[in-house]
Structure 1
């Protein structure tokens, strides 16, 4: 298969539109309660998808909540973290969510968390911790988009994968990158 086709498929395929939402233990999701049922069951809309879930505390229909997912007997149980009408953008709202996750309240953590949650990407405390270990101290939209791609494609959250995808997204062609790599191994004269 041609390398150009692989790169094109990696960056341009509509990944989330056709894929069913898969909740994982410890993941954070933002959803709106659409219906309540007996025995603490509810219909929750997460993005464009509706699903049934067990709830751990009383909630109100037509309200949006941050949920932390725990999987018991192959059924998602959603624990309400905070109540909000939209993705938190204010410093105080993000700070509260970081405190609930026991994460440091840094500008970078707020920016990363806001990006992931506003794009409805699967997120866990461990994933944020892993990402922050190798993410450059100053990062921008391109780095966040690369992390989003890694999460959407369920790629390993490692520095090596991040660096590889970042290289592919850079303005440099593959031949320039290979030449730079080759020249870095040449003996200094």
Structure 2
């Protein structure tokens, strides 16, 4: 057909990595005749799917959302983790007007600040350094004694026993509740889990 272009197909194979052959490489061990033929007979390219290549800190594992956003945009997009890390690093998080305003409202009204979230160094949904920065903001504004941590332990993006070390970095007198992410962060609409977390 005159003026037609060659076809290009973008195929995303989640979890299908290119790694050295060996007993731990399930892709290499599987029988994949169609894929093998496509790989052999057509031009192809692999992409980096973690760290700085997808807008995450060096060494940070990627995930489907990050990979798909990067592919769809055609450029590196700095992920929330990197943006919050930068704000913690340069001190701008402590000057964020929305955060300062929320803490100030609690201070002026004699209220309390409740920090709810995943206590983890996994970096997928949160990072412990972000919580430490919020605790510093609380100290600076004189709310240390009225700030409470409601910790969701991880065990999915990090070791199942990592919560012991992570919680030990927090002031124990500020920890109000502890619950596992299995209950507090259920995303399968299993409301009985969420109810137990409350």
Q: Which has the larger radius of gyration?
A: 2
Same fold (TM over 0.5): no
Scaled by the length of structure 1, the TM-score of the pair is 0.26
Scaled by the length of structure 2, the TM-score of the pair is 0.25
Q: Which has the higher strand share?
A: 1
Q: Which has the higher helix share?
A: 2
